[in-house]
Amino acid sequence: MAFRIGKSVMMNFGDNLEPIFIFTGLALLLLIGPFLRWYFLGMTRSNFKLPKNYLAEIIPFSLVFIMSLFITKELFENNKIVILILGSVLLFIYLHFAFYIFLSWRVLKNVKRNYQKETQSKSQKAIFDWLILLIIGFVIIWFSYFLNILDNKVPYVIGPIVYSLAVYFLSYKAFQLKTTEIDGEVFKVNDNTVLFDKISKIIVDEKLYLESDLSLSKLGKLVGQSTQKTSSVINQYAKRNFNDFINYYRIQDAKNLLSNTEYEKFTISSIAFDSGFSSLSSFNSAFKKFEGITPSMYRELT
């Protein structure tokens, strides 16, 4: 990408740039595509190792790069066949790049399908956010260059400018999301994932959250783990602390009761206790935290 930017700047501001620089720069687009897809695979698969047969994907780059070594200015002089061939190669290069952007998006989509938002760890979410930004960035880069070859509707210098801005922005987001410190290993199935599934099953399926005396230590004993381990797993996968994790499900139950006509005669206090809260004040605080309004206001609105 750096070579592409340099070539484009020299071509825009310089005179009589040698064809070898121009076509080497174009050839590198055939390398960026496969590298992008391999990167997506490495960031979404644990223990990823590049299969040797994947190296066949750089054959188009090798052929165009070798061809660029033999291109001279004289070839373009009154030679319509050469111009037609090079035009076809140019179109292939841009379609090749677009195809690999699509393949990278498919890799991301297939992985995201297996990881719902509710069960994503912080590291997994950071990688998903980062890869989505990469796709958007590369799509913008592709359009900036592709539009340029359509009757010069876009000034050529826009390409390297967009390239540069995209690289700087993506570099900033990579460090902000700390994706330079993680890789596909965060998708490795480990004991923490199994433990969180076990916690969720006990809490949700068996409605353990309805017990007002439920504590972190009690939950830890039920799943056979220490209080610290149980708390850590909940924070990592639920992205909430223990109290908010439990209260979230209690509030969902309370909302159903408040909107149910069969419970119209029940007081707010009785609904709070039926939902697993030990006091009305804690119920009101939790309800307002998750819903933004008080339980009584919610009942009136529904």
pLDDT along the chain (302 residues), means of 10: 78 76 83 95 91 93 87 69 78 92 95 76 89 94 77 72 88 91 82 84 89 91 90 87 94 91 88 92 93 91 81
pLDDT given at position 1: 76
User: Letter for the amino acid at 57?
Assistant: E
Q: Which of 287, 283, 286 is nearest to 301 (CA)?
A: 287
Question: Looking at the whole model, is its pTM more than 0.85?
Answer: no
Which structure tokens are listed for 165?
Answer: 């801005």
Tokens of 37: 């897809």
Domain boundary among 187, 208, 224: 187
**12 and 160 Cβ atoms separated by less than 8 Å:** yes
pLDDT of residue 216: 92
Number of Cβ within 10 Å of residue 288's Cβ equals: 15
What's the domain range around 254? 198-301
Position 277: which residue type?
F
Angstrom distance (rounded) from CA 64 to CA 46: 33
Q: What is the pLDDT, as a whole number, of residue 113?
A: 84
196 neighbors 237 (Cβ within 8 angstroms)? yes
Write down the pLDDT at residue 152.
62
User: Is there a domain that residue 192 lies in?
Assistant: no
Q: Phi/psi of residue 204, each to 5°?
A: -90, -55
pLDDT at 29: 87
Which CATH number goes with the domain that contains 280? 1.10.10.60
Q: Are 272 and 280 in contact (CB under 8 A)?
A: yes
| pLDDT for position 173 | 93
DSSP 205: I
Say whether both 111 and 252 belong to one domain.
no
How do residues 283-295 score in pLDDT, each as one tens digit? 999 999 999 999 9
* Residues 42, 116 within the same domain: yes
Whether 132 is in a domain gets the answer: yes
Buried b (16+ CB within 10 A) or exposed e, 12-31: eeeeeeebebbbbbbbbbbb
Instruction: Say yes or no: 150 and 229 in one domain.
Output: no
pLDDT of res. 40: 96
76 plus 165 within the same structural domain: yes
Q: Tally the domains of the chain.
A: 2
CA 280 to chain centre: 41
Contact 23, 67 (CB under 8 A): yes
Residues 174 and 67 in one domain: yes
Measured distance CA(295)–CA(281) in Å, rounded: 11
Cα separation, 43 vs 39, whole angstroms: 6
